Amino acid sequence: MGSVYGKNIHVSIFGQSHSPAIGVVIDGLPAGFMPDMTALRAFMKRRAPGQSLLSTQRGESDLFEVLSGLSEGRLCGAPFAATIKNSDTRSGDYAGLKRTPRPGHADYPAQIKYRGAQDAAGGGHFSGRLTAALCLAGGLCMQLLASQGIQIAAHITQIADIFDEGFDPLAPDFAALQEGCLRVLNVEAGEAMAQAIDAARLAGDSLGGVVECAALHLPVGLGDPMFDGLENRISQAVFAIPAVKGIVFGSGFEAAGMRGSQHNDAYMVQNGKVRTSSNHHGGILGGLSTGMPLLLSVAFKPTSSIFLPQQTIDLDTLQPAPLTLTGRHDPCIVPRAVPCVEAATALALFDAYLDYHKEISYATE
């Protein structure tokens, strides 16, 4: 198991990189909502490959087909299901990877776990391609959240050693996000990042980076204590994106070096609303939303698939085996990971939102 998410919605993702199709089923979406399919396709396109030299040249259009869950364009209460065909597959590129696992990939532990029965082509179910299904589910949830006034946006704050500034923690400005090749706040940073990615590509190497995500206008009290706090829920969704190595909320690891008198965010009232004068807590206390902007950052390792020669072993002979990859791979996954982080965050927040609604509707008792 592993490809199932949610307590109130129920997301089930399927597919392998080279199976006939990938897709997603979502049970528990509210009946009556009319998804904006044009917007959803536009969201999917942000993740789709082949749009510039910065990403893999695999030419998937990521067009999805809705199989069920709609009636006259509205969610009808039945599970929503959609598929995305895998058209441009070249399984031959991956022959031999079962014996000589790629460093940094799931090849080796998958080989042991599934005792050789796994689909190794293109990474199988472990492929980043599966994030298309994640984005489909998350993009739908983003629309559902937006209908309740909740906005989510992510951007790149780091590629290799090039940094962009982060959101203003008190007032993230989504309008300032650049919608060019790379989603950043400052164009210059974006250009430097693009150059670095292109240089890595030419070198047959790869780069990592950091994505920051914010959610605005959450109601106060969303989430739950202990295991279902917003951090827990969001983490469970975000680590579903391949290559994620860490996640922080608010001040993150910087909090470790601060004193309580610095870190505590004082309460104040502004325009009749309770706010905090700083936002080290990142919008979450005790697992619950505080009404301040929710802020998280996610670290991505450099793409594992590089074209430089690498050292691996032959699992049959247990002898060293040199490895030189072919195929089509992103020199840096971070640009395409931005909508994935938004999608994962949206899944978690919408799932929590349904709990929140349930509870609040009991309020008058």
Q: Per CB under 8 A, which of residues 86..115 are in contact with a second copy?
A: 101, 103-106, 108-110, 112-115
How far is 109 from 152, CA to CA, in rounded Å?
34
Q: Are 105 and 123 in contact (CB under 8 A)?
A: yes
Extract the tokens encoding 3: 């490809």
Q: Are 126 and 106 in contact (CB under 8 A)?
A: yes
Question: 43 or 350: whose CB is closer to a second copy?
Answer: 350
Task: Please tell me the count of residues contacting a second copy according to CB under 8 A.
Answer: 162
Residues 232-261 contacting a second copy, CB under 8 A: 232-233, 235-237, 239-240, 242, 244-253, 255-261
For residue 319, the one-letter residue type is Q
Q: Are 265 and 280 in contact (CB under 8 A)?
A: yes
Q: Does 25 bind a second copy (CB under 8 A)?
A: yes
Q: Does 346 bind a second copy (CB under 8 A)?
A: no
CB of 175 to a second copy, least distance (A): 26
Single out the segment in contact with a second copy by CB under 8 A; choices: 9-17, 41-49, 50-58, 166-174: 9-17
Residues 136-175 contacting a second copy, CB under 8 A: 147, 158-161
Question: 71 or 173: whose CB is closer to a second copy?
Answer: 71
Single out the segment in contact with a second copy by CB under 8 A; choices: 40-48, 60-68, 166-174, 182-190: 60-68
The phi and psi torsions of 125 (rounded to 5 degrees) equal -75, -10
Q: What's the CA angle centered on 332, arms 330 and 335, to 5 degrees?
A: 100
Contact residue for a second copy among 36, 205, 217, 327 (CB under 8 A): 205
CA distance to 132, 267, 308, per residue, from 100 (Å)? 27, 57, 16
Q: Does 231 bind a second copy (CB under 8 A)?
A: yes
CA dihedral of 47, 128, 340, 205, whole degrees rounded to 10: -80
Q: Does 27 bind a second copy (CB under 8 A)?
A: yes
The phi and psi torsions of 4 (rounded to 5 degrees) equal -130, 135
Residue 290: exposure state from Cβ atoms within 10 A (0-12, 13-18, ≥19):
buried
Residues 292-331 contacting a second copy, CB under 8 A: 299-306, 308, 310-313, 315, 318-320
Q: Does 38 bind a second copy (CB under 8 A)?
A: no
Q: Does 225 bind a second copy (CB under 8 A)?
A: yes
Q: Does 271 bind a second copy (CB under 8 A)?
A: no
Question: 90 or 358: whose CB is closer to a second copy?
Answer: 358
Q: Are 333 and 243 in contact (CB under 8 A)?
A: yes
